[in-house]
A and B are shown apart, each in its own frame.
Chain A
Amino acid sequence: MSGATASLRALAAVSAGGLAVLMLAVMAGIVIGEAPLPLSAVLEVLSVRLFGADTLLDPIDAGIIWNYRLPRTLVAASCGAALSLSGLVLQSLVRNALADPYLLGVSAGASTGAVAVTILGVGGELIEHFRRCLCRCGAGLSDRRAAGARGGRRGGADGAGGHRRVAAFQRADVLFIAKSANAEQARGIMFWLLGNLSGVRWPDVTLAVPIAVLGFAACLIHARALDAFSFGTESAASLGVPVRRVQLVLIGAVTLMAAVMVSLVGAIGFVGLVIPHAMRFVVGVRHFRLIPATALAGAVFLIAADIVSRMLIAGQVVPIGVVTALVGAPGFAIILIRNRARA
């Protein structure tokens, strides 16, 4: 009994610590920006908004803090958590260390839809983007599931080849469509290919945060099933995991998370690949720990990447996808080399 209490207490302590880290990251995301705004101003705006205090702050400064930076940071956190969870779940489900929504082409599928909308001019409304993102993601994933099923029977490596071919094909789609664009269209498309958080406002938060929380819950509920999947679908089935149902739910959750995040901020690569691997290194392979750690690290990582993207070159915003790639591409290489060494 006391053992259970102690582990509950440890769980509470770890959760509180994780939340504190997340809060600190969010604060950093609000304080650091192009225009220098003091911490005191940030605290004042937050207290005014949250507790209804009075303020003499300039409405523009207050607006920047409350309406630009806070939503942007919250969406960055949701997006980081959702994308890294998607990567983690895909890696476990298809037993492929290189699985990631960006590399597998879930995000690419979503960007293809978005880019097609931009250039071919098929509707312009956000809802249209959103619908297309979902459709493309769904289509992309079903291709991929077929490839995964084949690969599963023949062994992981072939499956991975199949995934990457589909992703490459979809990225080629994007490039094909992009080739028929002029310079200014191309600049608009960059948004979908490299990610952009500058247009994030409160309505985006009300979509991103619930989806990230929902996805997190869906993953956490299936933590034990995901452990079982590490030994392959047959072993999972023999351990009593309802394989089809779990696959359906988790792939649905991954698709939804990736689709929503891409529809809000464009495709941001490498988060889903590097964060889960880094966290396996830190907390081990059990999903009950791995899922919260991955979500937290992904959230903090993307907030940090957004800060770096704003500060790297003064007066200019580097696309956030470039920042994540700067970290992610070497990470990708390390994972590839380690995998080869093991094979």
Chain B
Amino acid sequence: MADRGKALVADLKSREAAAIRSAQALDLQDVSAVFWFSSAEMDIDPYVAGRKGPPAYMMNALGLKNIIESDEEWPVVSWETIARANPSVIVIARMDRRRFEADNYEKKLEFLKTDPVAREMEAVKSDRIVILDAHSMDPSIRNIAALETLAAALPEFDLK
């Protein structure tokens, strides 16, 4: 049992290192990101990742700057602040929950593309949007899979 556990940890660590290496190879400068989890109503201020949770770890590991400066796990930040920070990459959460309209990632995409301010963000105009499972944004071994997905998406984005 203990051996299987150690093997799993080793495997996760090597996958983590590989994802980080692939991001380092891109030599990203001044690349920023925001993780949008959901919103209580479609148009109101969204829940986004603060600088202490797993999304912040992923951004740190891959050399992305989190535009959110809150210590809360999922603070509510206004679209005004997010749009002005103009992140290079937007990560949105996909989930089966349908408590709020914005739980649906397709609704989030629709908002980003139609809101008169959000659609002007660089990440939206250049279609630099990554969809990740919401589960992988909470602390668990799935974080590594999310890290890999994000790292794999970056080279296609033509980031400087």
Interface pair B81/A315, CB less than 8 Å apart: yes
Contact of B116 among A63, A121, A184, A199 (CB under 8 A): A63
CB-CB under 8 A from A66, the residues of chain B are 116
Interface pair B99/A199, CB less than 8 Å apart: no
CB-CB under 8 A from A199, the residues of chain B are 41-45
Interface pair A188/B100, CB less than 8 Å apart: yes
Interface pair A64/B44, CB less than 8 Å apart: no
Q: Determine whether A317 belongs to the interface, using a CB cutoff of 8 Å to chain B.
A: yes
Of the candidates A69, A184, A185, A191, the one having the most CB atoms from chain B within 10 angstroms of its own CB is A184
Contact of B117 among A60, A118, A317 (CB under 8 A): A60
Digitize A17-37: 1 where CB-to-B-CB distance is under 8 Å, 0 elsewhere: 000000000000000011100
Interface pair A124/B101, CB less than 8 Å apart: yes
Complex: how many Å from CA A316 to CA B100?
Answer: 21
Within the complex, the shortest CB–CB distance from B47 to chain A, in Å, comes to 8
Interface pair B99/A185, CB less than 8 Å apart: yes
CB-CB under 8 A from B79, the residues of chain A are 68, 198
Of all chain B residues, which has the CB nearest A61?
B84
Contact of B41 among A35, A61, A184, A191 (CB under 8 A): A191
Of all chain A residues, which has the CB nearest B86?
A60
CB-CB under 8 A from B121, the residues of chain A are 60
Digitize A190-227: 1 where CB-to-B-CB distance is under 8 Å, 0 elsewhere: 11000010111100000000000000000000000000
Q: Determine whether A15 belongs to the interface, using a CB cutoff of 8 Å to chain B.
A: no
CB-CB under 8 A from B83, the residues of chain A are 60, 63-64
Q: Count of A-B contacts with CB under 8 A?
A: 73
Interface pair B84/A60, CB less than 8 Å apart: yes
Q: Determine whether A3 belongs to the interface, using a CB cutoff of 8 Å to chain B.
A: no
Interface pair A187/B116, CB less than 8 Å apart: no
Q: Determine whether B133 belongs to the interface, using a CB cutoff of 8 Å to chain A.
A: no
CB-CB under 8 A from B115, the residues of chain A are 67
Say whether, besides A60-B117, A64-B117, A184 and B99 are in contact (CB < 8 Å): yes
Complex: how many Å from CA A200 to CA B70?
Answer: 24
Interface pair A63/B40, CB less than 8 Å apart: no
Interface pair B100/A33, CB less than 8 Å apart: no
Contact of A196 among B44, B69, B75, B81 (CB under 8 A): B44
Contact of A35 among B43, B70, B84, B101 (CB under 8 A): B84
CB-CB under 8 A from A184, the residues of chain B are 99
Interface pair B120/A63, CB less than 8 Å apart: yes
Say whether, besides A124-B101, A188-B100, A316-B75, A64 and B43 are in contact (CB < 8 Å): no
Interface pair A60/B120, CB less than 8 Å apart: yes
Interface pair B69/A315, CB less than 8 Å apart: yes
Contact of B80 among A33, A187, A188, A190 (CB under 8 A): A33
CB-CB under 8 A from B99, the residues of chain A are 118, 121, 184-185, 188
Complex: how many Å from CA A184 to CA B83?
Answer: 24
Interface pair A68/B80, CB less than 8 Å apart: yes
Q: Which residues of A contact B (CB under 8 A)?
A: 33-35, 59-61, 63-64, 66-69, 118, 121, 124, 184-185, 187-188, 190-191, 196, 198-201, 315-317
- Offer 19 A-B interface pairs, CB within 8 angstroms, sorted by A: A34-B81, A35-B81, A60-B120, A60-B121, A63-B83, A64-B83, A67-B116, A67-B117, A68-B79, A68-B80, A184-B99, A185-B99, A187-B40, A187-B76, A188-B41, A191-B40, A198-B79, A201-B116, A317-B45
